[in-house]
Amino acid sequence: MDGSVLAQLSSAPIYMICGGIVAFVAVVCVVFMVRAWRAGVAIGMDRTKMKRAVTASASFSVLPSLGILLGVIALSGSLGVPWPWLRLSVIGALHYETQVADAASEAAGLPELSGSAMTAEAFSTIALLMSACIVWGMILSVLFNKKYLHRLQGQGEKKPGEKKGGFGDIAMGAMFIGMVSAYLGSYLGDFASGEGLFTFRGSWTPLAVAAVSALAMAGFTWLSEKKNLRWVDNFSIAASMLLGMLAAVAVGR
């Protein structure tokens, strides 16, 4: 590779291209947020509730965002800074980017995904493959979101303030339980059989982290429900995650 390609990948024009797209998405988020807020006010929703949703979501998102920042740093050594910044701010997913970048670099004929092996043509090819492989969520949304939601919600739609939940609400809760169960099960499976069936030599750190995080959440729930400290609800998930992550540091694996 030309020794300056990594520097070129972090040059002002590339920052402007990527930064422009990030700014566009930030504006989209603000527009959707303002519209939703106004609609909530117009239909008589409690402003305190909406404020709580915003505060809790903001505090909730900080730690995962730091994890995502680490992904940007990890990829910046081979793809420069602006591209991973764009990818992980918009559309990308932490687990997706590294895998696809790796596979795309192999397809582009690089011996490995690294700054020293990167060429300008390989980069633009890798960048296109990374973009093209993950666009389907957006395409499906454009084509089918309206019809799909209309079909699902058309018959059982409820008005705001209606208390009685139908099966749709229960099903969404159950789906989330299924999602958490799949991930917790995978941590257990990795520990028990990750290094060979029933050897119990796999990593137990994710299990310990999940357990500490769950215990911390139990403590915050107790404070909220038994001691009437409702304000802790706004930060309980973020604080529990932080304690879980600190446990990982303490375990040191």
Residues of this chain, 113-172, that bind other proteins according to CB under 8 A: 119-121, 123-125, 127-129, 131-142, 144-146, 148-149, 152-153, 156-162, 164-172
Asked if residue 100 lies in contact with residue 133, where contact means CB atoms within 8 angstroms, the answer is yes
CA angle 177, 248, 101 (to 5 degrees): 75
Q: What's the gap between Cα 121 and its chain centre?
A: 30
Q: Does residue number 206 form part of the binding site for other proteins (CB under 8 A)? A: yes
Where residue 126 falls (left for φ over 0; alpha for ψ -120 to 50; beta otherwise) is alpha
Q: Does residue number 52 form part of the binding site for other proteins (CB under 8 A)? A: yes
How near is the Cβ of 53 to other proteins at its closest, in Å?
Answer: 4
Binder of other proteins out of 75, 85, 110, 113 (CB under 8 A): 85
Q: Does residue number 78 form part of the binding site for other proteins (CB under 8 A)? A: no
Q: Tell me, what amino acid is at 206?
A: P
Long-range contacts of 33-42 (CB under 8 A, 24+ apart): none
Contacts of other proteins in 210-239 (CB under 8 A): 210-218, 221, 233-234, 236-237
The contact pattern for other proteins, residues 7-46, with x = CB under 8 A and - = no contact, is: -xx-x-xx--xx--xx-xxx-xxxxxx-xxx-xx-xxxxx
Segments in 90-135 forming alpha helices (H) = 94-107, 120-133
Instruction: Kindly tell me which of 115 and 168 has the beta carbon lying closer to other proteins.
Output: 168
